A = this chain, B = another copy of it.
Amino acid sequence: MISTEQALQTILNSAQDFGVEEIPFIQSVGRILKEDIKADRDFPPFNRVAMDGIAIDYLQFQKGQRTFPIEGIQPAGSEQITLQNSENCIEVMTGAVLPNSTSAVVRYEDVVIENNSARVSIETVCDRQNIHTKGKDGRAGAILIHKNTKISAAEIGVLATVGKATVKVAKQPKVMIVSTGDELVGVAETPLAHQIRRSNVFTLVSLLEKLHIPSETAHITDDKPILKEKIKDYLSTYDVLLFSGAVSKGKFDFLPEVLDELGVEKLFHKVAQRPGKPFWFGATGTLGLNIQNVNLDGEKSADIRSENKNQKNTVVFAFPGNPISTYVNCLAYFYPWYHKSVGLENLIENAILAEDVTFKPNLTYFLQVQLSYRYGHLIATPIKGNGSGDLASLVNADAFIQLSKTEEITFKKGEVFPIIRYR
């Protein structure tokens, strides 16, 4: 049994680059940018009028002139005009190009217009006031958004502005989510007394949807030959297989055996944590190799190499079948694996434990908590659940707090621990 840190490191070592695709920018929210976005011209691209009002030659104001006959109008979206007489002014609209030969904008609020003449009613006007100077926000060629940024609404605005109608983003892995367990029936079915409905696959679909990863789902009966045939097929098609169930010690937990027979290298089975302990992780192709090369002796490694080198690279996350176990392991392991694969940094968030928690086993404890904000502090209040089968308790929580084993068996109120937020 390995620690949660070792498990995570092994998983991060098998992160994989799925390449780049170009998609319409408006569909790119939530995806990871795979090119630097540069200003195609200066921003603003011209000396831009920042207030509705009049544009004047500042020198005239400085000389004492206060009343300026209106010579013309410069609307937004019109070609730049020129002030012909420096004692005149031009009416200008927000977003317009500043007219030639003008150097300050006085807003309508500070002007009285009568008989086609504008009288400035304030005492102080500054040179260049209310002008958003060409290139002030960024010069042509400057990087506005860096590669590997997660695209949000803010980035969409910039992409539109610089004319990136299509944008390069990280390709998503091709994922198959498989449930096992003969006790499971469909959501629309009425289970018999000894049956329950499938739920983990749908939870996983939703957790992946949050990362904008589409996925497919299947259910396989607890029958070894069928399991083997189907998984063989999936391994040749998908980049990631997510399983829920059939990895424990049960008589019908064929999964580890079947994966082994299909040449999936087991990288670990069982992690010192609760819930989610019987988690199995492995890989095929060079992914299985790379890690084996480090971990195993030379002979075994060479063996595996000859067998695996023509295989497609697929990672296999086989989560225990309890709802909370599947849920927390997807967040604690699949999410970081995905983030590393697409080039996104894994940021760790911390919260303050709201009450003492006593936990005796020599395991890392992922405890459900409700989050709240008090005076800029993030507070994590534990939720009492009934163990790893209690799906309903997830509904009452917002995150897991990760309490890693120390000498003490009590985690103190007021101490700070990492959290994995899921809302």
Q: Measuring CB to CB, which residues of chain A are less than 8 angstroms from any residue of chain B? A: 25-26, 29, 39, 43-46, 48, 50, 52-53, 73, 75-80, 91, 93-97, 107-109, 132, 136-138, 144-145, 149-150, 152-165, 181-184, 187-200, 202-207, 209-210, 222, 245, 248-253, 321-323, 327, 349-352, 373, 375-379, 386-387, 389-395, 397, 416, 422-423
Contact = CB atoms under 8 A, between A and B. Distances in A.
Contacts of A395: 144-145, 149, 154-155, 158
A295 to B, nearest CB: 25
A375 B25 contact: no
Contact of A193 (B79, B323, B350): B79
Contacts of A323: 157, 161
B206 A137 contact: no
Contact of A188 (B50, B163, B198): B163
Main secondary structure of the interface of A (DSSP, over half): loop
Q: Which of A93, A149, A204, A322 has the most CB of B within 10 A?
A: A93
Could you say how many copies of this chain the assembly holds? 2
Contacts of A391: 43, 137, 154, 157-158, 161
17 contacts: A46-B193, A79-B192, A95-B245, A108-B249, A136-B386, A137-B390, A156-B202, A157-B200, A157-B391, A158-B199, A159-B187, A160-B198, A163-B189, A163-B197, A376-B377, A377-B377, A377-B378
A153 B251 contact: no
Contact of A203 (B78, B154, B189, B375): B154
Nearest to A152: B423
A137 B227 CA distance: 32
Contacts of A183: 76-77, 95-96
